[in-house]
Structures are given as structure tokens and as C-alpha cells.
Amino acid sequence: MLIAQIRGRCTEMMTLDEFLADPGFLSNLDPLGLGNAWVKEPGFKGLYVRKTKRLWHKKLVPCVDLANVTVSKPGKGTFTRLVARLHARYNLCVECVTSEQFERGLTRRGFVKLPDQGGFPSYFLSKRMKLRE
Ligand SMILES: CC(C)(COP(=O)(O)OP(=O)(O)OC[C@H]1O[C@@H](n2cnc3c(N)ncnc32)[C@H](O)[C@@H]1OP(=O)(O)O)[C@@H](O)C(=O)NCCC(=O)NCCS
């Protein structure tokens, strides 16, 4: 019983905002301000995110990778709203995009395809780039 309670507490999922609440990450000074987690976010059935540093115009920039995304009700703007909320503050990367429909939508919104690294493509949107809605 006690072990189950402890386990329950340890495995409780944090929200996306809790995961991102880390000033060291954005300052680009804290090399340890990274990490990854499955997080809770309204409208999402599954959301796996990473705090990374990515090479962009020859500089390492902090980036939030949306590494595995599944919404509860596809096609209702849930993903677009999340991107609009995060874009003001973070560089974003959507990893391993497996659907051509999704690729077209990301491109339409201003994301650019990252150089091929084998496997499915990833798409990047710098916070300095315009998000088209
Ligand atoms: C892909 C997915 C995450 C997009 O989230 P969403 O909330 O449905 O997206 P939005 O409604 O904000 O639309 C944004 C773009 O997502 C894509 N999209 C929307 N519904 C989609 C669907 N059913 N399947 C694939 N892509 C879809 C489109 O490119 C859309 O752009 P558009 O409106 O200009 O055509 C979501 O549809 C989903 O979870 N699909 C099933 C799992 C999946 O394909 N995950 C992504 C693997 S890389």
C-alpha cells in the first residue's frame, strides 16, 4: 500500500508549464537545464517533450522539442493553439513527423524542415520567425 502510494507520487505526470518553468534553460547559460518528459496538457492524449539545444544559424539555441504528439480530437486546432502559445517564448521543433498532411500544415505555419538525419523529418520554428496561422 505504502509502496503503491510512493510509486503513485513519483510517477505523477507534470504539466507542460511545470516542465518548462526553468529560467536556466532559456538563459542559455545553464548546460544542465535540459530534460525530457511525458507531460499533461489539455486537449492532448499524449505529449512527450524535450528541452534541447539546437544548431541554428551556427549558434546553439535553446529549443522545446515536441517529440511525440497526439491530440484527443484531431483537426480542431489543439496543436495550432499550443504552438501559438509557445512560439512567443520558445524555439520549437516538431520531431519525426510521420504524416504528409501534418508536414504540409507545419510548412504552411512557417516551420522549416531540418536537414535530413535519416528517419522521419523534423520541423523547426525559431521564435524570431513568423508563425502563420
Ligand atoms: C497531427 C496532430 C498532432 C495535429 O494536431 P491537431 O490539433 O489535429 O492539429 P490542428 O487542428 O491544429 O491543425 C494543424 C495541422 O495538423 C495537421 N492535421 C490536422 N488533423 C490531422 C489529422 N487527423 N492527421 C494528420 N494531420 C492532421 C494539418 O497539417 C493541420 O494543418 P492545416 O489545418 O493547415 O491542414 C493530430 O492530428 C494527431 O494527434 N494526429 C494523430 C497522431 C499523429 O499523426 N501524430 C503526429 C505524428 S508526427
Read off the pLDDT of residues 1-48 as tens digits, 9 standing for 90 and up: 444 455 545 568 999 999 999 767 777 666 666 789 999 999 999 999
Kindly list the domain boundaries of the chain, sorted by start residue: 14-125
For ligand 1, whether the C-beta of 63 sits within 6 Å is no
- Residue 75 Cα to ligand 1 middle (Å): 6
Tell which atom from ligand 1 comes closest to the C-alpha of 74.
8
∠ CA 68-73-37, rounded to 5°: 25
**Under 8 Å between Cβ of 48 and 36:** yes
- What is the rounded end-to-end Cα distance, in angstroms, of the chain? 49
CATH number of the domain located at residue range(s) 14-125 in this protein: 3.40.630
3-state secondary structure of 54: strand
Torsion on CA atoms 16, 32, 66, 115, rounded to nearest 10: 170
87 backbone dihedrals φ, ψ, rounded to 5°: -60, -30
The structure's pTM equals: 0.90
Q: What is the pLDDT of residues 66-117, one digit of tens each?
A: 999 999 999 999 999 999 999 999 999 999 999 999 999 999 999 999 998 8
- Distance CA(38)–CA(50), nearest Å, equals 9
pLDDT at 2: 46
Centre of ligand 1 from the C-alpha of residue 76, in Å: 9
